[in-house]
């Protein structure tokens, strides 16, 4: 046993060094060895899902993407022992480093990240290299739940009631609340007593962070000073402040792979194919039915068939890209790329929504914040590995959340338009190394704004705008499935978004000047971005310039294959998440949101996976006569009339 443990420790160290580099954190080898030793059961290869080397010729269901929704679907569909399910993932296993909460930014631009960048646009991200925003997406079992900051935020009840009001039956708040609760294992006993909104015993562990700096509570006091209540932001109301809750378990990340896939690794009706890049959905052009997929694994193009359904869960970037590569999308765009049109669906890749934030930094006088050269040492590593607490359990310093309305929101509605992500660290806390790289900041910008405060005690506010009105889009670069798509964020192209983010930034500056934070010597970092030096500070013109510089995506890409009723010509899927114009095909992930939710979106995506699985079960477990009649039905939404010719599948 000792020999096996030592071998496992050695493998873990090599994997971690290969992932983020040994020079970046000197204590890394000790940290990995300690974690591996004290949590050996978690790293036993038998406790992880196994890559299926040789696949069967066909499966009942093929799920494309093992992310936050795909992992849930694989778990729930294989509850039916008679169904055989294939889960396909372009990446591989999580690593020991990805389990450590404080190291999440070290995963950005690593082998676990698709490493997308937007096209250059002048409206935002002007402080980024080539004016291109870095868009992080998980390429790993568990998807972006392996790279995110683990924040558990459900959104606002008004979000889901709005979905329902736009013709999406079954998606009102009261109808989707049970699916949030179905997944949840709430570890805070105070919150767990609220059985209307929380539950225990689910696969997904939700808990408070075991470590907070003194700033965490001070942020709550500052919120009270501004007139807001401290509340459960996943409960009856959202407006107010709270300590964040996290998808964590035993001080480590609880990804959807860890939560939903590892417990069912012995189910014989689930096969998982890793390092499998799906390049095309196979669709019969005559019957318009999806019947399988093409994929690349080990450098070879292969095919696998689906008897019942193909389910696309690749996320808001990969899912629309795959639909378009398969002939489902805006007809003219597909024809321009030389792709045979199966179904003209103009909404594919459109309606892209994301949450962006301005970054507001404050200096303090007390050594209480998270500074990297004080943070990562043998003591903190041992504390993390043995006691399961300490600063390494911090999710990049995120401690407290505040939901507030600006003057552009109705304050009586409890539908705030601004989220304060309050963190006990900032961009300069690591001396301009990994955070700067992860966010893609230019040397010029970093030197002008942050260099003089390298390694100093600070705290930050990400003033995140909710409910944006600007809409981006995703297009194909070519018909080559290995070419990354063209990503147009279109941030701050709508005046409403400029106004809300400007006012939210001003509110963040005022928040840092409350008495609760002044007792730490809080003072706003006034160094202007180079492109805003000509404007008087604190004016609206200055703030409108400021928010276009360090425009931080919170990585909540969504809404690119939106759900809608048949009367909506831009709806890609119906309220049961079936793709219009093609049978046997669904999209189940963040793409289907018609409007982005009011907060961080990982919890809503897990909910979508839970509800999607139930809708599939309901559809296929009906009496056989009804199922067979509906099996090949193709539902269309209101748009063009289709005429199919023998020589093509173009539309007229």
Contacts of 299 (CB under 8 A, 6+ apart): none
Q: Is 238 helix (H, G, I), strand (E, B) or coil?
A: coil
- Whether residue 590 contacts residue 607, with contact meaning beta carbons closer than 8 Å, is answered with no
- Whether residue 90 contacts residue 382, with contact meaning beta carbons closer than 8 Å, is answered with no
Reading the block at residue 478, the tokens are 């070519």
- Return the number of other C-beta atoms located less than 10 Å from residue 46's C-beta: 8
- Cα–chain center distance at 349: 17
**Residue 145 has what DSSP assignment?**
G
- Which string of DSSP letters, residue by residue, matches 592-612? G-SS--SS-SHHHHHHHHHHH
Cα→Cα distances 524→339, 370, 422, 454, 527, Å? 53, 18, 14, 15, 9
**Rg for the chain, CA atoms, rounded:** 24
Residue labelled with tokens 């539309």: 651
Contacts of 141 (CB under 8 A, 6+ apart): 49, 66, 71, 89, 91, 92, 93, 94, 257, 261, 272, 274
Identify whether 556 is a catalytic site residue.
yes
- Return the number of other C-beta atoms located less than 10 Å from residue 266's C-beta: 8
**Residue 563 has what DSSP assignment?**
B
Of 198, 333, 489, 556, which residue is the catalytic one?
556
Q: Where are the beta strands (DSSP E) in 159-276?
A: 184-186, 204-208, 240-243, 245-246, 248-249, 252-253, 270-273
Task: Kindly give the residue spans of alpha helices, DSSP state H, lying in 119-233.
Answer: 157-165, 173-183, 189-192, 214-225
**Residue 502 has what DSSP assignment?**
H
- Whether residue 399 contacts residue 243, with contact meaning beta carbons closer than 8 Å, is answered with yes
Please choose, from the candidates 139, 151, 245, the residue with its C-alpha nearest in 3D space to the C-alpha of residue 192: 245
Burial class (CB in 10 A: 0-12, 13-18, 19+), 208: middle
Active site residues: 556
């Amino acid at each position: 046993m000792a020999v096996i443990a030592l071998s496992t420790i050695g493998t873990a160290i090599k994997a971690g060094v290969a992932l983020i580099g040994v020079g970046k954190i000197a204590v890394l080898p000790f940290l990995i060895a300690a974690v591996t030793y004290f949590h050996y059961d978690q790293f036993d290869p038998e406790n992880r899902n196994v890559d299926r080397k040789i696949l069967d010729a066909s499966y009942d269901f093929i799920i494309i993407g093992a992310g936050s929704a795909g992992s849930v679907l694989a778990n729930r569909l294989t509850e039916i022992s008679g169904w055989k399910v294939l889960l396909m993932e372009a990446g591989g296993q999580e690593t020991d480093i990805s389990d450590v909460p404080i190291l999440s930014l070290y995963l950005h631009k690593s082998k676990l990240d698709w490493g997308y960048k937007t096209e250059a646009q002048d409206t935002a991200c002007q402080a980024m290299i080539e004016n291109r925003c870095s868009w992080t997406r998980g390429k790993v079992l568990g998807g972006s739940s392996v790279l995110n900051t683990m924040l558990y935020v459900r959104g606002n009840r008004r979000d889901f009631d709005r979905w329902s009001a736009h013709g999406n039956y079954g998606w009102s708040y009261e109808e989707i609340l049970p699916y949030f609760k179905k997944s949840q294992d709430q570890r805070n006993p105070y919150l767990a007593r609220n059985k209307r909104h929380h539950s225990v015993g689910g696969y997904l562990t939700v808990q408070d962070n075991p470590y907070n700096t003194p700033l965490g509570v001070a942020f709550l006091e500052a919120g009270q000073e501004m007139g807001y209540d401290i509340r459960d932001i996943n409960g009856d109301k959202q407006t107010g402040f709270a300590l964040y809750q996290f998808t964590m378990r035993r001080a480590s990340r609880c990804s959807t792979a860890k939560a939903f896939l590892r417990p069912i690794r012995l189910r014989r009706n689930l096969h998982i194919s890793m390092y499998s890049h799906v390049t095309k959905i196979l669709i019969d052009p005559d019957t318009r039915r999806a019947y399988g997929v093409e994929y690349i694994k080990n450098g070879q193009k292969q095919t696998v068939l689906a008897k019942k359904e193909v389910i696309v869960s690749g996320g808001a970037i990969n899912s629309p890209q795959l639909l378009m590569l398969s002939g489902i999308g805006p007809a003219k765009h597909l024809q321009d790329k030389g792709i045979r049109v199966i179904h003209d669906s103009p909404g594919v890749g459109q309606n892209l929504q994301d949450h962006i934030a301005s970054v507001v930094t404050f200096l303090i006088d007390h050594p209480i914040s998270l500074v990297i050269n004080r943070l990562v040492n043998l003591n903190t590593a041992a504390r993390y590995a043995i006691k399961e607490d300490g600063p390494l359990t911090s999710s990049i310093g995120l401690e407290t959340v505040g939901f507030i309305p600006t003057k552009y929101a109705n304050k009586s509605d409890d539908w705030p338009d601004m989220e304060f992500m309050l963190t006990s660290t900032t961009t300069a806390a690591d001396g301009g190394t990994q955070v700067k790289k992860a966010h893609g900041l230019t040397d010029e910008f970093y030197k002008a704004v942050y260099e003089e405060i390298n390694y100093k005690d600070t705290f930050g506010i990400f003033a995140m705008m909710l409910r944006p009105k600007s809409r981006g889009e995703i297009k194909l670069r070519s018909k080559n499935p290995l070419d990354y798509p063209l990503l147009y964020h279109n941030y701050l192209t709508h005046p409403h978004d400029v106004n809300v983010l400007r006012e939210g930034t001003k509110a963040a500056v005022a928040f840092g000047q409350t008495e609760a934070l002044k007792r730490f010597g809080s003072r706003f970092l006034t160094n202007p971005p180079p492109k805003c030096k000509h404007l008087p500070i604190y004016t609206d013109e200055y703030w409108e310039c400021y928010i276009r510089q360090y425009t931080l995506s919170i990585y909540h890409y969504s809404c690119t294959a939106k759900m809608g009723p048949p009367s909506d010509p831009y709806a890609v899927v119906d309220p049961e998440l079936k793709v219009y114009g093609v049978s046997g095909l669904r999209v189940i992930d963040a793409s289907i949101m018609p409007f982005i939710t009011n907060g961080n979106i990982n919890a809503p995506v897990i909910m979508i996976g839970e509800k999607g699985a139930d809708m599939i079960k309901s559809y296929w477990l009906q009496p056989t006569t009804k199922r067979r009649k509906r099996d090949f039905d193709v539902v269309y939404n209101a748009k063009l009339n289709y005429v199919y010719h023998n020589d093509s599948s173009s539309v007229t």
